[in-house]
Structure 1
Amino acid sequence: MSIESIEKKTVDPTVRQHSFGSYLAGTEISGSEWVHVPLPRALMDDSFSSLSLKRRLDTGEIVMDESHANLIVGRVALADIAIVERGLEAAHRATKEWRAVPLGVRIDKFLTILHERFVQKSEELEYFLGLEGHPRELARWERTSMLLSTSPESRAYFRDQMWHEIHHNDRRNIVRRLPDGVVTLNPPANAPMASVLLAGLSLAAGNAVVARAPRSSPLGVMWAVNELLGYALAEVGAPAGCLSAFCGDPQPMLDAWLASPYVNDIMYFGSSENGLSFERKCVESQKKPILELAGNDIVVVWRDANLDHAATALLEGFFGSGQLCMIPNQVVLHPDIADALIEKLVAKTAELYPGYPDEDGVLLSPVLRHEKFYKFLEDAVGKGAELIVGGHGIALDGTRDSAGFFLEPTIIRIDGLADSRRIDAVKYETFFPLLPLVVIERGDDDDLLATIAEFINTNLYGLRNSIWAKDQGVIDYLIANIVNGGLLVVNASHIAFGATVPSHGGTGLTGGVSGEANHPGLRTTHVQGLIVADGDTPPIHR
């Protein structure tokens, strides 16, 4: 296979190099400039050589060939704004046809084919997630989300939400959701492929989608667009313009989307600061902003919780070295079980180790910059927090090394909930392996529960929260009174996915002024009421 060829191809996971052009309305288009992607193993072994070779390839000084396979895994064409605008125009034309296609095709058939494709391509899917630096176990977790979101149960729920009909007074009364039109998607650099695959539900709703592939990790996006989303669309005969994807810098592409008369919605992943600023630009440009920003999730462990299970769930706070938005970021502990829970969690934390993403059992990922970790840790200890375990950089072999790519899973203890947000690691999102355990003050159970609910509801963020308790009264109280967040989990994995249940989205700094749980098929649609009579009945206005 010639690496210079830009012909569409089925990627074999054993092939070491891949090449993708821009994906314009179902057609792959070559480019004059390319972004080259280093192999994750090579970056971890010799980042200088990998990045040096990447720069030479990106500037065109040399051309990628098979001799670079030990360092460079592939390339993606850079798109200019003219091509992006062609994609938006094609999407605008396509949605006029696609939105009229029956739900039986868009939801039942398209999502069924996509679901089957996830199964058929599972090894390649995990492989490309690995090229983004995702440990194998986390790649399998992400694949689970894709399968559940397209499962028969989820399809049935989605279809009911899209068209709900009753008969009343000889009339058909219908509440339906209509596609917004052209949806653009700006995924995060840490999980681009999985985020772009969320667009499958927006496509099923009748929208057209234009996605950006980040320059830092574009391969997975372009593979998924070609081999998963694009394949399923073609199988149901969707207009080619329903899907386009381009690799490029975020700002020029976002500016083009804001300026385009064809764009209706912009799904934006990023930091809260940047996302909320972008939200204002969307409103000014009359685009619907759908924000997926930072998370600062809270886990409550009540005094009757199964501590073994709770400790295992809290370990998820270190998955990907804390560089995931929907993992535990802080824990509120009942004082009766605090010491026992901490002991169990420390023992489980010792079992985590760094490694290459394609190795089984690895859950930690490299953290490229460590300054904020040490700044947050210093702030916490300086304000009275106790360092329980961790606090250092480590090398690939697990030995402490201030210059290592990894950070030790780090646990701190804070006594007292009332003033705990004086500590930055409690108040703000952390995107590294630092987990604060906050032991609540002793008191009457009713008072403690009210305090916990208020603490969660006043969190600046609102992605996920979870509870570990057995007392049904405690569970019922917290379910009734916790109103912040897009997802609430009880006695289960904090990062669990569920059929019909949205996997992303939230309130506050997580989702912006209109933030809520994000079911992309619903967030990229709007409600319309419909009344249909037979024409033989005289009009009755009351």
Structure 2
Amino acid sequence: MASLPFTLNDPSLLHEASLLNGKWVQSRSGKKFDVEDPGTREVWASCTNNEVADVDQYVETSYSAFKSYRQVNPRGRAKILLKWHELVTQAREDIAKIIVYETGKPTAEAIGEVDYALGFAWWFAGEAERIRGSIAQPSISNRRTLVIKQPIGVSVALVPWNFPVAMIIRKVAAALAAGCSMIVKPSPETPFSVMALADLALRAGLPAGVLNVISTDNTNTPSVSERLCKHPLVRKVTFTGSTAVGTIIARHCSEGLKKVTMELGGNCPFIVFDDADLDQAIAALMILKWRTAGQACTHANRVYIQSGVYDAFTQKILEATQKLQVGHGADKGTTMGPLTIGRGIEKIEKHVADAVRKGGKVLCGGKRPDNLQGYFFEPTIISGMTSDMLTTNEEIFGPLLGLYKFETEAEVVEKANDTSMGLASYCFTRNVSRTWRLLESLEAGMIGLNTGNSSGAENPFGGIKMSGYGKEAGKDVAIEEYLIQKTGTLTTSIKSDGNKDSNGCQAPRVGQLTSPAPL
């Protein structure tokens, strides 16, 4: 291991290996890939690089572990999750440091991600004991219908790099609570934070093989992911990432009819009406645009401002944005770090050039800072945005904020919905009737009403349209993604005296037709 640019309270949490059946192992080829600090572009560690030939052993050991773990009672699963929660809490500073050097996030954001992620471990520990079946009396009197719920089996989580800890705990905790085993394939940019979480899960008492983690570089990611999706022992896949890649994953999973959860891209509108509390809207937008340097699918992609407050709002967001301190995530005072990957800068430059060419005005930013070596781009605000610009039609995923002017509610609803995406929408107004109308008329899976914070362990997370399907977090719905239902039909005994069933009702004679005829 190379000399780290930071120190950990518990250095044993950093693993340059994959987790297979409770052991830290290298790939069969022995090859590794480098992980660089986005804030300096310097390599600070290397991780084992698995290939397709390595995949089957991860699935087979996961399946073997599932057969025994599924028998662990719900309280036993809950205790493991609560212990995991406790250990991650104790290690939050170490995990946050790893996040900073993997993603580039400022330290405060990294710690915030760990705290946010912990909510999912706590929540699903409770959900483990709340899985319920049902029993009912059907239309045929001497029958009873029973529905039981059981874990679906080996699950696979394919995750990106922008929230490596939060997304892993959200997915893994749900699977473990349901009684499933899981294989995680982390992003090549962020393997070490995921390995640290897996280490703590083992320490919490999770049996070997119930959680396997297989690391790859960008070159091997497509083929390894495909094999995981198509493996006959895998029954469930949960994917977070772009819509383009999600479409490919769904195609892979269709071959074995896998159950799939898709949390895909967004093109989220942020609407500010004339009667809004502008300070409240500004505070929400500062988080929804600049946190993680704009690299989140739920971030505001198009900011629509009603004409009566357009100038005032523009001035306020400009003043607030100019106070941001761009720098390395580990530096004291940094409030916005670098982008995680270099190609993100090229995309932002393309969007800025397109907007300016079509009449947009750059109010601040618009370029790479001269004094920083990492993947940095200045927080950029462009006014005068129009519907024909790239930023209107593509997910930005970077520190670019475009301002659009609108006149009426009907107009802005039409513009907000004019996208193939449907992850989240945000609106700010003091008009209660309008709030209810927007909740129903905006086409998104999550609607922020006078708030930019729509995500939490208690809330179902997921989109509609091309932003995916299925839900993560929330009561009942998320854990259902890892369960199957079995219907049992029970015929009760029939009394021999008189032709009555056990409820005293007339039972059909042999050969007698009834309506409706039972199947």
Say whether the fold is shared (TM-score over 0.5). Answer: yes
Alignment partner, residue 303 of structure 2? 331
Unpaired stretches in structure 2, ≥5 consecutive residues: 495-500, 508-515
The SS at the match of 1:247 is coil
Unpaired stretches in structure 1, ≥5 consecutive residues: 5-10, 52-71, 398-402, 442-447
Which of 449, 452, 455 pairs up with 1:497? 455
Alignment partner, residue 120 of structure 1? 90
Whether 2:1 is the aligned partner of 1:26: answer no
Alignment partner, residue 219 of structure 1? 192
Alignment partner, residue 383 of structure 1? 358
Q: Distance in 1 between matches of 2:229 and 2:135?
A: 39
Alignment partner, residue 269 of structure 1? 240
The SS at the match of 1:462 is coil
2:79·2:125 contact (CA, 8 Å) conserved in 1?
Answer: no
Structure 2 CA distance for partners of 1:396 and 1:255, relative to 1, 3 Å = same
Which of 32, 35, 40 pairs up with 2:32? 35
1:150-201 superposed Cα distances (whole Å, 9 cap, x missing partner)? 335x6546654x3154776999876554322111122113443433222221
Alignment partner, residue 163 of structure 1? 132
Shift of 1:250: 0.8
Q: Describe how 1:45-64 pairs up with structure 2 within 5 A.
A: 45=40, 47=41, 50-51=42-43
Letter in structure 1 aligned against 2:467: T
1:103·1:159 contact (CA, 8 Å) conserved in 2?
Answer: yes
The SS at the match of 1:517 is coil
Which of 505, 509, 513 pairs up with 2:466? 509
Shift of 1:380: 1.7
Q: Distance in 2 between matches of 1:472 and 1:214?
A: 42
Alignment partner, residue 119 of structure 2? 148
Alignment partner, residue 66 of structure 1? none
1:462-499 superposed Cα distances (whole Å, 9 cap, x missing partner)? 222222222211111111222x323222222x245334
Shift of 1:98: 2.3
Letter in structure 1 aligned against 2:383: R
1:223-277 superposed Cα distances (whole Å, 9 cap, x missing partner)? 11112x333343xxx4x22111111221231232134210112222332222213
1:177·1:527 contact (CA, 8 Å) conserved in 2?
Answer: yes
Report the TM-score, using the length of structure 1 for normalisation.
0.79
Identity in percent: 25
1:202·1:209 contact (CA, 8 Å) conserved in 2?
Answer: yes
Which of 268, 274, 278 pairs up with 1:297? 268
Q: Distance in 2 between matches of 1:528 and 1:404?
A: 53
Alignment partner, residue 400 of structure 1? none
Letter in structure 2 aligned against 1:163: R
Alignment partner, residue 481 of structure 1? 441
Whether 2:145 is the aligned partner of 1:178: answer no
Whether 2:319 is the aligned partner of 1:359: answer no
Which of 289, 307, 322 pairs up with 1:350? 322
Q: Distance in 1 between matches of 2:435 and 2:448?
A: 11
Alignment partner, residue 379 of structure 2? 409
The SS at the match of 2:260 is strand
Report the TM-score, using the length of structure 2 for normalisation.
0.82
Alignment partner, residue 498 of structure 2? none
Structure 2 CA distance for partners of 1:13 and 1:510, relative to 1, 3 Å = farther
1:304·1:469 contact (CA, 8 Å) conserved in 2?
Answer: yes
Q: Distance in 1 between matches of 2:67 and 2:374?
A: 53
Whether 2:160 is the aligned partner of 1:196: answer no
Q: Distance in 2 between matches of 1:166 and 1:288?
A: 25
Shift of 1:208: 0.9
The SS at the match of 2:209 is helix
Structure 2 CA distance for partners of 1:166 and 1:147, relative to 1, 3 Å = farther
Letter in structure 2 aligned against 1:490: L
Alignment partner, residue 497 of structure 2? none
Shift of 1:344: 0.8
Q: Distance in 1 between matches of 2:371 and 2:108?
A: 18
Letter in structure 2 aligned against 1:244: N
Structure 2 CA distance for partners of 1:171 and 1:140, relative to 1, 3 Å = farther
Letter in structure 1 aligned against 2:447: L
The SS at the match of 2:384 is strand
Structure 2 CA distance for partners of 1:429 and 1:156, relative to 1, 3 Å = same
Q: Distance in 1 between matches of 2:183 and 2:346?
A: 35
1:13·1:127 contact (CA, 8 Å) conserved in 2?
Answer: no
Shift of 1:279: 1.6
The SS at the match of 2:307 is coil
Say which one has the larger Rg: 2
1:148·1:499 contact (CA, 8 Å) conserved in 2?
Answer: yes
Number of matched pairs: 479
The SS at the match of 1:377 is helix
Q: Distance in 2 between matches of 1:330 and 1:129?
A: 28
The SS at the match of 2:335 is coil
Structure 2 CA distance for partners of 1:363 and 1:283, relative to 1, 3 Å = farther
Q: Distance in 1 between matches of 2:376 and 2:52?
A: 37
Q: Distance in 1 between matches of 2:152 and 2:49?
A: 28
The SS at the match of 2:302 is strand
Which deviates further from its counterpart, 22-31 or 297-306? 22-31
